[in-house]
Chain A
Amino acid sequence: MSNETTPEEAAPGQDLESLRNPQPLYKMMRDLAPVVHMERGNMGSTIVAKHEDVLTVLRTPEIFSSNAEAVKIGQIRPLIPLQIDPPDHAKYRKLLDPLFAPKRIAGLEERTRLLVNGFIDEVIDAKKANFHLSVAEPLPSMVFLELLGLPVSRAKEFIALKDGIIRPVASDEAGRLVKVNEVGAKIYAVLSEVVEARILEPKNDFISSFLTSEVDGERLTPDEVIDICYLFFLAGLDTVTASLDCFIAYLAQNEDKRQSLIARPELIPAAIEELLRWESPVTGVARIAIQDTELSGCPIKKGTLVAPILGSANTDESFWERANEVDFERETNKHLAFGGGVHRCLGSHLARMELRVTLEEWHRRIPNYQLANGIALRYSQGLRQVENLELVW
């Protein structure tokens, strides 16, 4: 874990209770300092809390760039498509959107259901499990490995590489950069190896599709394919894990809400949207101001790292009716849990399918579960995973 502080000396918003239930902290930010610059060690960023301002940041890429300076996760080239700004960005999305379209994702549902049931088989008779370790972590990793056509026998190696980037063991930003660059080099090596193999012998997998896809008569280069896979690897695994952790933790503690899903499984898709809003498993994203600008009257200098807080936008009472009420039958739900604007999550349909299938199968087979006695859930920062999600049933 990069966060080595104890609860007593935690920075604002990093105490266990705020990590568990961040909504009151978000409200405090909106009320007291909706746009605020914070310095932490040698890293400074401007935090944006109001729905209106978050939307402005997400929808104005010509001022708030998503370039490679915004997030440094061991990459040696901009990640595709996240770190490419318009107009080039559209070329990549035109190529990638069809591969992640609902119809393509529907083809993966049966296999995902089988995987989920396999994980449930392993734990159901024990009447207890760590949900994070048994389901939430392995599921997206397996789906990813199979999609990319990587050998499942390498799952552990891949999870270790991913954790090396997301949770490097380092005490400051400089140390973190050294670590993630080391791990990044290993990820590039593995991906290069697989891309080379698929060029020689295409298979029925995403990497082979990427290599033969064309936009405006142009094919992707092998480096571009690697830059897509690198992002997929880091963006598509922990985000789904965090969402599953947050949802099951919520449902384990809210009996009435869980019972409503058991009685009416058709509510699950809407429940997923509402829990994405309420829990906002990805708390925020990062942009760089590429010109001097302002938000809500606060000046922002060119070069500033800007962090729109999705979780705060998703609970802002100036935008939402009954912002603090979790309602699986909300008439409208334009949440920003997948971000927004041109960089809106490419994998949202894949994520939704993984979340829905897991909630359907888990509640079909293990409808009544609760937190293990005396467990104080620990949520990680930024990406809200719950590593000690111990359940009994």
Chain B
Amino acid sequence: MLSPDVFETDDDGYGQAKFLVVPDELIQQARVAVINCPEDAITLINEEGDKE
């Protein structure tokens, strides 16, 4: 897994974000997931509510 501190997989194999708010020290890891998701299904939203 590319971003193991940000995501986990449930027993059915589906990815789940571990947090609603990504801690500062994991932002970089979350960005790696966003740019690598083959289905473009991951979005990171900043404090103003805009997509990064």
Chain A interface residues (CB < 8 Å from chain B): 94, 97-98, 100-104, 331-336, 338, 340-341, 344, 349
Contact = CB atoms under 8 A, between A and B. Distances in A.
B13 A102 contact: yes
Contact of A98 (B13, B35, B39): B13
B36 A103 contact: no
Contacts of A349: 13
Given A101-B13, A334-B40, A336-B38, 14 more contacts: A94-B12, A98-B11, A101-B11, A101-B14, A102-B13, A103-B13, A331-B35, A332-B35, A332-B36, A333-B36, A335-B38, A340-B39, A344-B38, A349-B13
A333 B32 CA distance: 10
B26 interface: no
B36 A101 contact: no
B4 to A, nearest CB: 11
Contacts of A103: 9, 11, 13
A97 B38 contact: no
B27 interface: no
B38 A104 contact: no
B21 interface: no
A97 B12 contact: yes
A162 to B, nearest CB: 26
Contacts, number: 39
Interface residues of B, number: 13
A130 B13 CA distance: 36
Contacts of A340: 38-39
B45 interface: no
Contacts of A336: 38
Contact of A334 (B13, B14, B37): B37
A173 to B, nearest CB: 33
A333 B40 CA distance: 12
A376 B38 CA distance: 35
Contacts of B13: 97-98, 100-104, 349
Contacts of B40: 334
Which of A334, A336, A340, A341 has most chain B Cβ within 10 Å? A334
Nearest to A104: B13
A117 B9 CA distance: 30
A389 to B, nearest CB: 29
A20 B10 CA distance: 41
A348 B12 CA distance: 15
A350 to B, nearest CB: 11
B44 to A, nearest CB: 14
Contacts of A98: 11-13
A277 to B, nearest CB: 11
A256 B13 CA distance: 36
Which of A331, A332, A338 has most chain B Cβ within 10 Å? A332
